[in-house]
């Protein structure tokens, strides 16, 4: 289940319960729509407490689904994802950050929600 709310000009998408790749595209489309409607430029997907299948639901799948939204991704938008240490490791997060940087996408993976919010604000 995805809960959407705004905090300090950041659209927060809090994922609770089971998270699977088939939900990612719909959640990101909804986030983009809400960014437009609220004139926001930053969003955060918080997976820190979600239950996910390590093999099929990683931060890489979220990036891949983001590629499908590239034409709708507003220029200047910053995207952060907070993942659970239980399901992802720091090496995967660093790789995610490198890949998104190489594709000129302002996106970054974090283990801490406060760090992610601080990065989005700056």
Q: Name the percent of the chain lying above pLDDT 70.
A: 75
Q: What is the mean pLDDT of residues 18-25?
A: 74
Instruction: Tell me the CA end-to-end span of the chain in Å, nearest whole number.
Output: 29
Residue 79 has a pLDDT of 87
Q: Which two tokens stand for residue 47?
A: 């997976």
Q: Is this model's pTM higher than 0.75 or not?
A: yes
Starting at the edge strand found earlier in the chain, the sheet holding 42-46 runs 2-7, 10-15, 42-46, 78-82, 107-110
Residue 1 has a pLDDT of 86
Per residue in 86-110, pLDDT (tens digit) is 656 677 777 778 777 776 778 888 9
pLDDT tier at 73, thresholds 50, 70, 90: low
- Alpha carbon of residue 8 to chain centroid: 17
């Amino acid at each position: 289940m995805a809960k959407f709310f705004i905090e300090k000009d950041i659209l927060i998408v809090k994922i609770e319960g089971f998270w699977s790749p088939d939900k990612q595209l719909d959640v990101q489309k909804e986030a983009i729509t809400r960014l437009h409607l609220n004139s926001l430029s930053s969003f955060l997907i918080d997976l820190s407490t979600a239950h996910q299948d390590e093999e099929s639901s990683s931060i890489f799948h979220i990036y891949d689904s983001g590629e499908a939204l590239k034409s709708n991704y507003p220029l200047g938008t910053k995207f952060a994802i907070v993942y659970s240490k239980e399901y992802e490791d720091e090496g995967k997060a660093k790789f995610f950050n490198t890949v998104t940087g190489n594709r000129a996408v302002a996106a970054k993976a974090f283990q801490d929600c406060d760090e992610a919010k601080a990065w989005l604000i700056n």
